[in-house]
A and B are shown apart, each in its own frame.
Chain A
C-alpha cells in the first residue's frame, strides 16, 4: 500500500497544503462545511486541477488519469449507477477490467455477503434505503482491491444505528486490508473515534495534524477549542463510542 504525500498544494480552495499520510494509515480530514475537505480528497483522486504535487510512494501522480490511480472512492452522494442492479453495481469495477467471469462472480458474492446485502442483489438503487445504498457503494468501491480508499462523508445522512453498523464495516475492511484510507467528515465524534491521525482543516488550510487524543489535549485551532469546550465532558464516551 502506498504512502501519500502532498507538496505545496494550492488551488481555488486549498492553500499551501503539505501533508504525509503513511502506508496503511486511517487518516481523517476534519473541518466544517466549506473548509476544503472534499476538494483536498478530489485533488488526491485527480478530479480537480491544482498547483503542487501529489506523490504515491514518492512517485508523482499529477499527470496520471483518475482511472489509473487504483483508488476506491466512496462519494458523498454515493453515485450508484441507477441503471444497474446491486450486483452489477458492485461488480462494475471488475467487469470493466474484463476479469474472468468466475472471479467476478466469486468476488461479488464475497462482498455482498460481507456487507450483508446478498438479499438485495437484484434490486435497483431506487428501491434501496439510505443505509443499503451506502453498503452497496462501499462494496463497489473496495471490490477492485484499491491501494487507497477515499471516503467522503460516508455516514452523512444516516440514522444513528445504521451509521454505527456501517462505521464498523469500514473499520473491519480497513483492519483486514490495511489499505491507506483517507476519510472526510465534519462530524467531530466520528473523526476522533475512527482516526489514526486527524488533520483539522479550516478555510482551505490545514491548521493541525496529530493523533486524535493529542488534538483534543493540545488543540491549536479555535474551531476545535469551541467543540472541545462544549463536548469535552463526553470525551471518553465519543472516543470509545459506537457512534
Chain B
C-alpha cells in the first residue's frame, strides 16, 4: 500500500518532466533562453559525475555545510538551553543577540572576507552564522515553553537542577529544537550556494557561476537539481530523527 502511494506521488513529477522535455524539444521557449531538454540535462549530469567535476564540487559544499551546520547548531543549542533555562543569562544575552539576529547571513560576507580572506573558514563561518541564530531562538522558545509543573514535579522528586535540565527540560524542548534544525538544514544549503557564487572558487555555487558564464544552462540546471535534492534530504533527515525521538509521546 505504501509503495502504491509513493508511485502515485511520482506521477506529477513524471508529467512535469514530460512537459519539460516536450517544451524544450519542440522549441516552445525562444532560443535565447538556451532551454535544454530534460534528457540533455541528465546526460550532462552523467558526464559531470563521470569526469569528477560534480563530485569534487559537491564534496566541497557538503563538507562546508556539515562543519558549519554542526558547529552552528551545537553552539545554538548550548547557548539556547542556557538562555532558555537561566533567566539571568537570557536578560544579558537576549539584547545582544537581538541586534545581530536580523542581519542576513550573507551580509556578513564582506567583513568575513576581510578577516579570513578567501579560505575554507569563510564559508564555514557563513553557515555557522546562518544556523546559529535561528537554532538558538528556537531552542530558547522550546526550553521556555516547557510547562513549569514538570519542573516542580521533578524538584519534588528530589532532582537537582542539572538532572531537571537533562532529564526533563531538554527532552521536552526537543520539538522546538528540531524546528530550528529542520529549517536551518535546508537554509544552510541555500546560503552556501549563494556564498560560493559570490566569493568562493569551489563548490556547487562556484560551478553554477562558471556554467552561467559559459552559457551552459544544462550545467546550471544540474547544480540546481543537486541543491534541491540536498535541501530536501537534509530537511527530511531531521524530520526522521525528530520523529524517532518524539513520536512515542507526542
Q: Are B157 and A79 in contact (CB under 8 A)?
A: no
Interface mask (B153-192 → A, CB under 8 Å = 1, otherwise 0): 1111111100100011001101000000000000000000
Chain A residue contacts of B172, Cβ below 8 A: 81-83
Chain A residue contacts of B156, Cβ below 8 A: 45, 66-67, 69, 71-73, 141, 150
For residue B88, CB closer than 8 A to chain A, the reply is no
Q: Are A67 and B159 in contact (CB under 8 A)?
A: yes
Give the docked Cα–Cα distance between A77 and B167 (Å). Answer: 20
For residue B32, CB closer than 8 A to chain A, the reply is no
For residue A20, CB closer than 8 A to chain B, the reply is no
Q: How many residues of B contact A (CB 8 A)?
A: 22
Chain B residue contacts of A83, Cβ below 8 A: 171-172, 174, 246, 249
Chain A residue contacts of B167, Cβ below 8 A: 92, 96
Identify the stretch in B65-73, B120-128, B144-152 within 8 Å (CB) of chain A at 4 or more residues.
B144-152
In the complex, which residue of chain B has the Cβ closest to the Cβ of A68?
A: B158
For residue B5, CB closer than 8 A to chain A, the reply is no
Q: Are B159 and A126 in contact (CB under 8 A)?
A: no
Q: Are B158 and A79 in contact (CB under 8 A)?
A: no
For residue A129, CB closer than 8 A to chain B, the reply is no
Q: Are A77 and B249 in contact (CB under 8 A)?
A: no
Binding site for B on A (CB under 8 A): 45, 47, 65-73, 75, 77, 79, 81-85, 92-93, 96-97, 124-126, 140-141, 144, 150
Q: List 10 A-B contacts (CB under 8 A).
A: A69-B156, A71-B156, A77-B149, A79-B153, A81-B153, A82-B249, A83-B171, A92-B159, A93-B158, A140-B157
For the A-B complex with A79-B153, A81-B153, A96-B167 known, give 4 more contacts whose Cβ atoms are closer than 8 Å: A67-B157, A82-B172, A82-B249, A144-B158
List the 7 closest pairs (A to B, CB-CB), nearest first.
A73-B156, A79-B153, A79-B149, A93-B157, A66-B155, A83-B171, A124-B249
